[in-house]
Amino acid sequence: MKLNASLRRLAICLGASLLCAAPLQAQETQGCPQLPANSVLQWQEIRNPDLLFCKAMDANGRQAFTVMVSHESPFNPVRSQRAESTSINGQKTWWYRTEIATRPELLAREAAIELSNGNVAYFNVQANNDADLQQAYSTVAALSF
């Protein structure tokens, strides 16, 4: 009888630990952030065990911006490269200028925020003109994680 009671306690503890682990696993495997309801963009999602890469694509197959979610960010902001202030997912941050060596004519910006689960969301925008840049900014600001 004593062994049976011990096995029951073990089963209860294992079950409880699995229930507690389920929300953590769900947090780690979340998909791309929710696009605004009026957005015409669609996500292309690429996953590996360490990161989630989301490409926001328009109906013509052009990339509007990307989001990378991981435990660490490749982004190392330099204050002198600050371009515009913004709010993403309710957090105040900055867009930083960057350059694409093979496409110097592009307006390229990057930003990053920390998410509630401890991950970092890194954003990259590459636009041909200011109107496209502002449209990408507007959509990114309305993303919901």
Q: Which pTM was predicted?
A: 0.77
48 with 111, same domain: the answer is yes
73 with 19, same domain: the answer is no
107 with 82, same domain: the answer is yes
Number of domains in the chain: 2
65 with 88, same domain: the answer is yes
Predicted pLDDT of residue 73: 85
Predicted pLDDT of residue 60: 94
131 with 105, same domain: the answer is yes
25 with 85, same domain: the answer is no
For position 47, which CATH number holds?
A: 2.60.120
39 with 14, same domain: the answer is no
Q: What is the pLDDT along the chain (145 residues), one digit of tens a residue?
A: 343 343 344 334 334 333 333 333 334 447 999 999 999 999 999 999 999 999 999 999 999 999 999 998 888 999 999 999 999 999 999 999 999 999 999 999 999 999 999 999 999 999 999 999 999 999 999 999 9
78 with 45, same domain: the answer is yes
Domain that holds residue 17: 1-30
83 with 48, same domain: the answer is yes
Give the integer Cα–Cα distance in Å for 81 and 95: 9
Torsion of CA 21, 27, 28, 34, to 10 degrees: 160
95 with 128, same domain: the answer is yes
24 with 35, same domain: the answer is no
15 with 39, same domain: the answer is no
